Copies of this chain bind each other. A is one copy, B any other.
Amino acid sequence: MKRIDERAADELRRVKITPDFMPNAAGSCFIEWGNTRVLVSASVKEGVPSFLAESGRGWLTAEYAMLPGSTGTRKARERGKADSRSIEIQRLIGRSLRSVLDLEALNGFTITIDCDVVQADGGTRTASITGGFVALGLAVKRLIREGRLEKNPIKTYLAAVSAGIVEGRALLDLCYVEDSSAEADMNFVGDEQGGIAEIQICGEKRTIRDEEFAALLGYCKKGVGELIRKQKEILENA
């Protein structure tokens, strides 16, 4: 049985990251991941949310949205009414990126990661986290270069990838067609040392067995390793 686009079971789609796509933002990139494409920017402002006042810590938050033209059927803008899927995804993005940040080293700043999907073909949340880490890294480099930050608050590299069970078989990095027929899927966020930042397994059609879980986890760790190599190429040359 072949995958729809001929990839091996543990093979990522082609990923290309263009840094500094939105020059008005502190850091930004355009991440193309197969046919999924996301614009990501990191904006920095001085001051922290009120619940962190006097805490000696900075903050990072994220917002996620799909552009109306990013899907075959136009996606209505979230004006007036929150889209609960977007809220769930942007909370995941923010929490994941905070897990590798030393918030005390970011004292006095709030960074907002904005992820706007230009084209959706599965994996928009993992593309957002992986691209969001690059935008964050570029913004931090700029803050250090401008003398506004003394110390790099990023503790380790971080990337995200999905995997799923399709017709009983574990597959890495599902595209939309695969995702639609998946029995269960998993989003994995991991760091450079193999640490787990977040796992979301979701068996909407059925629950999954332990050995299936082990296979998905192995694929995801491999995928995260490859993505971190791509992030390093960009950030070490920025």
A43 surroundings in chain B (CB, below 8 A):
68-69, 74
**Interface assignment of A237: CB less than 8 Å from any CB of chain B:** no
Interface of A is mostly: mixed
Encode A177-220 as 1/0 by CB contact (under 8 A) with B: 00000000000001101111111111111111110010000000
B119 touches A24 (CB 8 A): yes
Residue of chain B at shortest CB distance from A155: B206
Q: Of B63, B68, B78, B196, which one neighbours A112 at CB under 8 angstroms?
A: B68
Query: A interface, how many residues as a size bin?
Result: 35 or more
A73 surroundings in chain B (CB, below 8 A):
45
Chain A stretch 65-98: residues in CB contact (< 8 A) with chain B: 65, 67-74, 77-82, 84-85, 87-88, 90-91, 95, 98
A28 touches B99 (CB 8 A): no
Q: Compute how far the CA of A65 lies from the CA of B79 in the bound complex, rounded to whole angstroms.
A: 11
Closest Cβ–Cβ distance, residue A5 to chain B (whole Å): 16
Sample of 10 further A-B pairs with CB below 8 A, known A41-B67, A196-B209, A199-B200: A22-B70, A24-B71, A45-B73, A82-B82, A82-B84, A99-B205, A196-B201, A197-B207, A198-B200, A199-B201
Please, could you name 18 A-B residue pairs with CB atoms under 8 Å apart, sorted by A? Answer: A22-B118, A24-B70, A24-B72, A24-B119, A24-B120, A28-B69, A42-B69, A67-B114, A68-B114, A74-B114, A82-B82, A82-B87, A88-B91, A99-B207, A156-B207, A195-B208, A197-B207, A198-B203
